[in-house]
């Protein structure tokens, strides 16, 4: 089955535009702060895409770019400053972080009310990646004429394999599926004979950022 990812992405974008219009009526201009550390090419590409989509929606974006040598405490202090800024509604600390930065401490430092990525354990926001994956799975489900079940039961009947379990990739997808009562099989660098698992899968979700 061919899935039109662009059409699904556009539907999500259109929904966000409508929500932005409702905020505008209340005199609110959403303000997103993106903290980017270092010169990782992939991270810069991802951040640029976020900036472009935010502009299309009508969200103000402030990009703060630090060199890789920033210390853990300096980063936390910066995050706290944005936490306390009432004109800032969302904060993203772009992953991956340099190895000397304590990722869990950074996750905890972001105000859960402003945690756009949904990494904070107290955040009420769903991780954008897990939302996107579910939208695609829902599209596949709705396109299946043979299914007489609801979406969740349909998922539970499928053998779902997730390749990768990184903090910003596979992990949020795994956690979301588990909250729905779905237990995916997970493949990482330590998995033996991954090809055997993949061959038996109904649905394969790659979250490793490479072929």
Question: Residue 35: left (phi > 0), alpha (psi -120 to 50), or beta?
Answer: beta
In tens, the pLDDT along 12-71 reads 899 999 999 999 999 999 999 999 999 999 999 999 999 999 999 999 999 999 999 999
151-209 per-position pLDDT tens digit: 999 999 999 999 999 888 899 899 999 999 999 999 998 999 999 999 999 999 998 86
pLDDT at 129 over 70: yes
Residue 30 CB neighbour total at 10 angstroms: 18
Report the greatest alpha carbon distance in the chain: 56
**DSSP state letters, 15-54:** HHHHHHHHHHHTT---EEEEEEES--HHHHHHHHHHHHHH
Domains along the sequence of the chain with CATH: 5-109 (3.40.50.10860), 128-206 (3.40.50.720)
pLDDT at 85 over 80: yes
The answer to whether the beta carbons of residues 39 and 8 sit under 8 Å apart is no
């Amino acid at each position: 089955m061919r899935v039109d990812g662009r059409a699904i992405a556009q539907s999500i974008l259109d929904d966000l535009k409508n929500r932005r219009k409702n905020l505008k009526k209340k005199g609110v201009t959403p303000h997103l702060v993106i903290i980017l550390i270092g010169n990782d090419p992939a991270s810069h590409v991802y951040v640029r895409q976020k900036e472009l989509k935010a502009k299309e929606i009508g969200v103000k974006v402030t990009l703060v770019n630090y060199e890789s040598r920033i210390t853990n405490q300096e980063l936390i202090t910066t995050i706290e400053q944005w936490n306390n800024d009432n004109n800032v509604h969302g904060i993203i600390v772009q992953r991956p972080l340099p190895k000397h930065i304590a990722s869990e401490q950074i996750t905890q430092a972001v105000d859960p009310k402003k945690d756009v990525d949904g990494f904070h354990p107290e955040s009420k926001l769903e991780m954008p990646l897990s939302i996107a994956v579910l939208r695609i799975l829902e599209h596949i489900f709705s396109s299946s004429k043979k299914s007489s079940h609801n979406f969740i039961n349909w998922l539970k009947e499928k053998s779902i394999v997730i390749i990768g379990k990184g903090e910003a990739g596979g992990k949020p997808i795994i956690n979301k599926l588990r909250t729905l009562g779905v237990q995916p099989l997970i493949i990482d660098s330590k998995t033996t004979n991954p090809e055997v698992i993949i061959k038996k899968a109904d649905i394969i979700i790659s979250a490793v950022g490479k072929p």
